[in-house]
Amino acid sequence: MSFSEMFFMWPLTAGLYAGSLLSHSFRKELAAMAMLCAGFAANTLFLMGRIRYLDVLTPLNMVTETYFLPWCLALLSGMIGVLEKDKKTVLPGIFPIAFFSLAALFIPVKVNPPSPQHDAFLAPFFFISEAMAHACFVLGGWLAFIGIVKRIEIPIFNKIIVWGFVLYSIAQVLGAIWAYLGWGAPFNWSERHLQSTALWCFYAAYLHLHFSSKWSPEKIMRFAAIGPVIVLLFSYSYYHCCPNVS
């Protein structure tokens, strides 16, 4: 994929996701699903095009979270829809998908050049597991928010968050090994590592709330609904402060 094609591919992707949201808002569910699938396909092509940089394969560019998170959200929403056989669970996921894809239009993200650290074997797996975990946190929190607003039960939101915590824990282990191999230390007092630790502790606390009789299901849903805000602040504030890091 040429640079000019890459330049127009993400606005197309974001436009399709936004069109899906608009169709869903007007209760055109079939059109919403079609545009969501088209957006997912365009998102996939865009990510594949980012792999090749200066004619050198750099897989890390494919999993840049700014562009990879909407893909993860779309994939997760589709998987839930297939497993749960409930389109109502898929379509509300359009809201965070459209939001993060449109936000990516305004976030400066540079392409990672080939380097010993970026070419490490574990690096792509770390970002894949971290982005999928973030997608679980965002989608689970969003479904919890919908349940609060509409006063309905959406039990699957808790399962999504639990799987997100498992993936995030795996990401922390992979990240520590990658950091040790690439920089000589598994942890340092940088904002990146501290934010990851804080987010892990937040969801560890969430899981333990289920064992407390003082926390009703409604309170737990409110706690879960805060999660996407934290993911947004941590992830995107980091990209704004350090735009050279993807």
Handedness of CA 167, 210, 86, 148 (dihedral sign): negative
pLDDT tens per residue across span 215-235: 999 999 999 999 999 998 887
What does the mean pLDDT of the chain come to?
86
Q: How many residues does the chain have?
A: 246
**If DSSP codes are grouped into helix, strand and coil, which group holds residue 97?**
helix
Q: What are phi and psi of 151, to 5 degrees?
A: 55, 50
Residue 245 has pLDDT above 50, yes or no: no
Nearest alpha carbon to residue 14 among 110, 135, 97, 73: 97
Partners of 243 in the beta sheet?
A: none
Per-residue pLDDT tens digits for 127-176: 999 999 999 999 999 999 999 999 888 889 999 999 999 999 999 999 88
pLDDT at 86: 62
Q: What is the DSSP letter of 105?
A: G
pTM above 0.95, yes or no: no
